[in-house]
Structure 1
Amino acid sequence: MERVREEPACRPLKVLIVGAGIGGLTAALGLRKQGHEVAIFERSELAQETGAALHLASNSHGILRRLGIYPETFGANPVHGLLEFDYTGSLRTDVDLQASLKQWQNLWVLSHRVRLHEALKDAATAKQGTGKPALLRTSSRIIGVDPAKATVRLEDGTEFSGDLVIGADGVGSVTRKLIAPDMKPFGSGKSAFRFMIPHDTMRSNPLTKDLADRKGYMTFWYANDRRVVMYPCNNNAVMNCLAIYPSQLSKNVASTSGNDWDQHSSKQLLLDLFNDFDPRVQVLLGMTEEKTLKSWTLLDMERLPRWVEGQLVLLGDAAHPFLPYQGQGAGIAIEDAASLSALLPAGTPVEDLPSRLALYEKLRDERAHRVQEYTRMSGSDLNDQKRNSFNVMEFVNYNLGHDEYHNSEHALKKLLWSRNSLNISWRLPLAFGPMQSPRQDLLGRIQSPDLDATTKTHSIRFKTSATYLKNWFPTSAFSFASPGTVAEATFRCVELQNLKWLGRWGYNYWGLWIHGVKYTCRDGAELFGSFLPVLFENEADPIVTGREDLGMPKLFCDIDVGQEENGDTSIDCSWRRNSFVTMELGGLEERTGEPSGPPSSITDDNLLLYRYIPAVGEPGKTDAEYPVIVDHEKSRDTCVVTRRMTATRAKVEFRADDATMNALPTIGSVVAGLAGVPVYSVLEACTTEAKGLTTFSHARKIE
């Protein structure tokens, strides 16, 4: 595995957004907050955004709040209930939804489109706020886009270049033609009138007063092939109304180009098409002002074969025009914007855009078109066979129970993890992905050398009994390299400080190294090193990573190192204040004239380990057990000795009486075993200080 070099921080992406609708502005705000440079090109003057209301269900409302947009501050009111009638006025459903909607994190609110649009525009372009303000250019009709160069050309010939172009230019999208030139929206067979009526006007008539008084209620009247829908906005002060009917019943509807979806229409035509509906509907329709009455063809489109071409990507209605039957058109566009923002965080390299955009397409194509299919089913006529299989709760749960920012953020992590799948060391808990360790970062790359870390090692190397220690070898493949009953071992304590991987904190470890050990492989090859039967550490993180990543036999204890003014050092290991071993080094004398480099007391040879993982619920059985070797030469490269001192006095003293053993319920057997190690004579006692950190990144399974 190649060592990762420190790379300079990636520059912000330059993002060009075509279209300043709800989706385009949400994307602009999200990408601005990620630190990117954003320019928005809008063909209109934005002088009069469409005057209608829209649904902000939990899935989109939560995204807006994450971006700092709070719909209740500009008049959005929560959904409280649902009323359904047949076209004659007979009640079918009257349900209070307030209790059931509490299961969703964010309220389902009803907002005036203009007010949401203004809030998004102000947040994206304001001088205050996170990131550089987005540049909004109105009256800027795009006549050309180069997906390969991320360039847009305006009608006046001006060109702008960036790293990414987002086509958020609606159902009549120009950018879509560059990705799927043969895909065009088509009439769904239905058209709609839309209009808004003040609640005060409705309250002035006894037939409609009760409807206006029920705050937060969505009301529906259904005939077989047409329907009237109304719901409040602007703090329950205005009722947004929609009257849907078969397009063939009128020629006075907009074209299917998608560019004139809000053309003015005839009030008389509206009254004629719904003349057999409930008298309350007749009164309601009569309240509309003809000059504000709009009509348009409800457009649909086949599923696009792809959303991305080069450095051009589609968003919102440009990728998936929505019918209005579930109120999710704006919500899914907001989700698209959230997905792009999550997949393109600060530091995204330009060269990584193709894989990020491919992931965006995969995530959003599946969800958007499933919601579209539910929407088509919801809008089918009452006698349509498809409607019989329509499960309302299924689509409500799917629509509302989703957070696209979290979904995309996690998908990006999985993408980055997959690139290093052979190198990443996973450990429990798996739900959160790989965790950083001393040996690798979150993406599985070997940590860069930690040259600022410091190491102080206290060692007592001694002669001892080979016959005593060989009983600790886990298999017969382990043996001493030399015959005889005398072996060498070292009690060693290491103080580590200023560790990058541990937030510049440190920890201590203490253990026993058995030298001169040989491992004989099944093919007869021989490996030599020091065997480590146990290692105590005083921090949980290195214990967990060492046990799971390397198979090291690590246990916890407190390790206190004290030093007198004359340099004498005392090391005490304890568990719950019950001391079980003390190691002392005194009369330290500094050595001079030796070459700088890692001394034998830090990494004197290869390290031999034995990994053992017990099977859950099956005592005595294992899920895995095998020998491990840590290559000395590959592990020594960053540790440089700065000072080396030899002790003239050295002592290791265990407390292994019954009282001590009883006070060590989990490690007593280990301490008793260590206390039995005989010390025939001390060969060397020293303290060594070093800069940098000896790593164990090159540990490998032997066989």
Structure 2
Amino acid sequence: MLRSIDPATQYQETRRDPLRVLVVGAGVAGVTTARLLRHHGLHPVLIERSATGGAEGYMLALMPMVTPVFEELDLWPEYRKNGIPFGRYRLCAHTGRAVRTDSMGELLADYGDYRGISRGGLLDVLSGADCPVSPGTTVAALTEAGDAVTVRFDPGEDAVEYEFDLVVVADGIGSATRELVGAGPVGGLNTGWGGWVAWAPADDEQDLGEELWGAGFFLGSYPVLDRIGVFLGGPDAVTADGPERFVAEVQRRLHAPTARTRRALRAVLDADDPYYWPMRDVRASRWVTRHTVLLGDAAAGFLPTAGIGAGMAMESAWVLSRLLRHADRANLATLLEAYEGVQRPRVEAAQDNSRSLAKMMFRSGTAFAVGRDVAARLLSIRTVLKPIRQLLDGRPDPDAAARRALSRTA
């Protein structure tokens, strides 16, 4: 669990480390990084801008690229207890009728577990029994000199300054710290869509994820422990009127909805102030400087369309932490460049896949939806998952990357 502690107390521990590390953001990427670095003997300072630890947010389907994290931290028992197997995927036509159901478990079995878990549940697993964090704390200023980086915290009271060797910027897609680093321009894709996250009661198909690719709307429902996560989205101009009107319009267009679809729409209506998720992403043009690195959504914030963003953030945290096992203050910049060289192409390939799926999913025309329904019957799920399987087949070897990078500077 995350344990609140003030930044000064955290910093006292890190001062004796061979690398003094600050991790900004206690989300999936930041907590994974902090736990892995502690496992390797460091004492990173972990800060979080939210005073309460942040909202649970949404549901996740974790692809097997997270396997190295759970293996290294020995978290498999907790992960399996807090997540459930995601065995089947059902796709529905734009009218609501089920088109096909495929076995995801069989297709990904060679790579490891594929599980559904809530964001809050995942953070509970990753943080473990004791993960120190300073909530309500942000980076107010950051000055990078030749041999270190000076950071001024703003914990809500008196601002204080500390010196670090490395700052890991993992404070999300809207990262404020990213702007202080000077890592270059930031681009992104705004689909012009957004939608609500809600929670429905568990049903008798808790191994099933279901998606309905509509004409002007998208509805997805995904199993997590003891409930089902729901996302209902559409064009910003339409969702701006609120969920009641939008649900009514979706219901009007459905001729043969599944039982899961009906329950999912009811969950959106019943939700008290549901979380609204804008369908946009972010891509930073540069990830590292001599003493800073962007990680997770701060480097490349994903659309949720491929269900791979959280998995790639965890993989990135693992790659970075393994490279840092070879680091000292003299070679840190070399290893950070190696990290970007190894991981950025993988992350951006996964992000491109999410963008491609968004172009297929977030469409309004009925004619296009009809053609898409026909294609869905013909395309195999193995073909659709090919980009993800390629990523899993080409898992990185950060220790080998570190040796190559350091040999070039020897």
State whether TM-score is above 0.5: yes
Q: Offset of 1:164 from its aligned partner?
A: 0.4
Q: Secondary structure at the match of 2:127?
A: helix
Q: Does 1:412 align with 2:402?
A: yes
Q: Offset of 1:373 from its aligned partner?
A: 0.5
Deviations 1:97-150 (A, max 9, x none): 33333211x21111111011122223562xxxxxxxxx4111112221223332
Q: Offset of 1:337 from its aligned partner?
A: 0.6
- Report the equivalent of 1:69: 75
Amino acid at match of 1:417: S
The Cα RMSD (Å) is 2.5
Structure 1 residues 186 and 157, CA gap change in structure 2 (3 angstroms): farther
Amino acid at match of 2:403: K
Deviations 1:644-698 (A, max 9, x none): xxxxxxxxxxxxxxxxxxxxxxxxxxxxxxxxxxxxxxxxxxxxxxxxxxxxxxx
Question: Are the counterparts in 2 of residues 141 and 154 from structure 1 also a CA contact under 8 Å?
Answer: yes
- Report the equivalent of 1:396: 388
Q: Distance in 1 between matches of 2:257 and 2:44?
A: 51
Deviations 1:355-375 (A, max 9, x none): 000011111211110000011
TM-score relative to the length of structure 1: 0.49
Amino acid at match of 2:174: G
- Report the equivalent of 1:597: none
Q: Offset of 1:90 from its aligned partner?
A: 2.5
Q: In the TM superposition, what are the counterparts of 1:325-404 in structure 2 within 5 Å?
A: 325-345=305-325, 348-381=327-360, 383=368, 391-404=383-396
Q: Secondary structure at the match of 1:35?
A: coil
Q: Does 1:144 align with 2:146?
A: no
Question: Are the counterparts in 2 of residues 26 and 337 from structure 1 also a CA contact under 8 Å?
Answer: yes
Q: Distance in 2 between matches of 1:91 and 1:290?
A: 25
Q: Distance in 2 between matches of 1:61 and 1:198?
A: 29
Structure 1 residues 38 and 307, CA gap change in structure 2 (3 angstroms): same
Q: Does 1:299 align with 2:306?
A: no
- Report the equivalent of 1:444: none
Q: What is the aligned counterpart of 2:233 among 238, 244, 262?
A: 244
In structure 1, the gaps of 5 or more residues are 1-9, 126-134, 200-211, 253-264, 421-703
Q: Distance in 2 between matches of 1:413 and 1:181?
A: 28
- Report the equivalent of 1:193: 196
- Report the equivalent of 1:533: none
- Report the equivalent of 1:204: none
Q: Distance in 2 between matches of 1:341 and 1:123?
A: 20
Structure 1 residues 123 and 144, CA gap change in structure 2 (3 angstroms): farther
Amino acid at match of 2:390: Y
Q: Distance in 2 between matches of 1:285 and 1:394?
A: 31
Rg larger for: 1
Q: What is the aligned counterpart of 1:179 among 173, 177, 182?
A: 182
Q: Offset of 1:329 from its aligned partner?
A: 1.1
- Report the equivalent of 2:298: 318
Q: What is the aligned counterpart of 1:52 among 49, 58, 76?
A: 58
Q: What is the aligned counterpart of 2:267 among 287, 301, 304?
A: 287
Question: Are the counterparts in 2 of residues 44 and 140 from structure 1 also a CA contact under 8 Å?
Answer: yes
Q: Offset of 1:219 from its aligned partner?
A: 0.8
TM-score relative to the length of structure 2: 0.83
Structure 1 residues 250 and 81, CA gap change in structure 2 (3 angstroms): closer
Q: Offset of 1:191 from its aligned partner?
A: 0.8
Q: In the TM superposition, what are the counterparts of 1:249-648 in structure 2 within 5 Å?
A: 249-251=238-240, 266-273=243-250, 275-277=252-254, 278-280=256-258, 281-288=261-268, 289-301=270-282, 303-345=283-325, 348-381=327-360, 383=368, 391-404=383-396, 407-419=397-409
Deviations 1:321-348 (A, max 9, x none): 1000111111111111111111011x62
- Report the equivalent of 1:223: 214
Question: Are the counterparts in 1 of residues 96 and 212 from structure 2 also a CA contact under 8 Å?
Answer: yes
Question: Are the counterparts in 1 of residues 151 and 163 from structure 2 also a CA contact under 8 Å?
Answer: yes
Deviations 1:174-222 (A, max 9, x none): 22213246425563222121111112xxxxxxxxxxxx32231111111
- Report the equivalent of 2:6: none
Q: Offset of 1:94 from its aligned partner?
A: 1.5
- Report the equivalent of 1:35: 41
Q: Distance in 2 between matches of 1:164 and 1:419?
A: 20
- Report the equivalent of 1:16: 22
Question: Are the counterparts in 2 of residues 192 and 243 from structure 1 also a CA contact under 8 Å?
Answer: yes
Q: Distance in 1 between matches of 2:187 and 2:321?
A: 27
Question: Are the counterparts in 2 of residues 193 and 270 from structure 1 also a CA contact under 8 Å?
Answer: no
RCO comparison, higher one (Cα < 8 Å, 6+): 2
Question: Are the counterparts in 1 of residues 183 and 285 from structure 2 also a CA contact under 8 Å?
Answer: yes
Question: Are the counterparts in 1 of residues 230 and 264 from structure 2 also a CA contact under 8 Å?
Answer: no
Return the structure number with greater strand share.
Answer: 1
Q: Distance in 2 between matches of 1:160 and 1:329?
A: 32
Q: Distance in 2 between matches of 1:222 and 1:136?
A: 40
Q: Does 1:85 align with 2:64?
A: no
Q: Distance in 1 between matches of 2:184 and 2:321?
A: 27
Question: Are the counterparts in 2 of residues 81 and 95 from structure 1 also a CA contact under 8 Å?
Answer: yes
Q: Offset of 1:30 from its aligned partner?
A: 1.0
Question: Are the counterparts in 2 of residues 83 and 93 from structure 1 also a CA contact under 8 Å?
Answer: yes
Q: Offset of 1:238 from its aligned partner?
A: 0.3
- Report the equivalent of 2:159: 157
Q: Offset of 1:48 from its aligned partner?
A: 4.8
Q: Distance in 1 between matches of 2:301 and 2:184?
A: 16
Q: Distance in 2 between matches of 1:89 and 1:38?
A: 49
Q: Offset of 1:16 from its aligned partner?
A: 0.3
Question: Are the counterparts in 1 of residues 61 and 117 from structure 2 also a CA contact under 8 Å?
Answer: yes
Q: Offset of 1:418 from its aligned partner?
A: 3.7
Amino acid at match of 1:356: L
Deviations 1:26-70 (A, max 9, x none): 001111112122001111123453242112111113422322222
- Report the equivalent of 1:98: 105
Amino acid at match of 1:276: R
Question: Are the counterparts in 2 of residues 55 and 109 from structure 1 also a CA contact under 8 Å?
Answer: yes
Question: Are the counterparts in 2 of residues 81 and 97 from structure 1 also a CA contact under 8 Å?
Answer: yes
Q: Secondary structure at the match of 1:41?
A: strand
Structure 1 residues 151 and 55, CA gap change in structure 2 (3 angstroms): farther
Structure 1 residues 401 and 415, CA gap change in structure 2 (3 angstroms): same
Q: Distance in 1 between matches of 2:172 and 2:27?
A: 8
Question: Are the counterparts in 2 of residues 229 and 242 from structure 1 also a CA contact under 8 Å?
Answer: yes
In structure 2, the gaps of 5 or more residues are 1-15, 362-367
Amino acid at match of 1:319: A
Question: Are the counterparts in 2 of residues 224 and 381 from structure 1 also a CA contact under 8 Å?
Answer: no
Return the structure number with greater helix share.
Answer: 2
Question: Are the counterparts in 2 of residues 74 and 115 from structure 1 also a CA contact under 8 Å?
Answer: no
Deviations 1:357-397 (A, max 9, x none): 0011111211110000011111213649xx98994132131
- Report the equivalent of 1:131: none
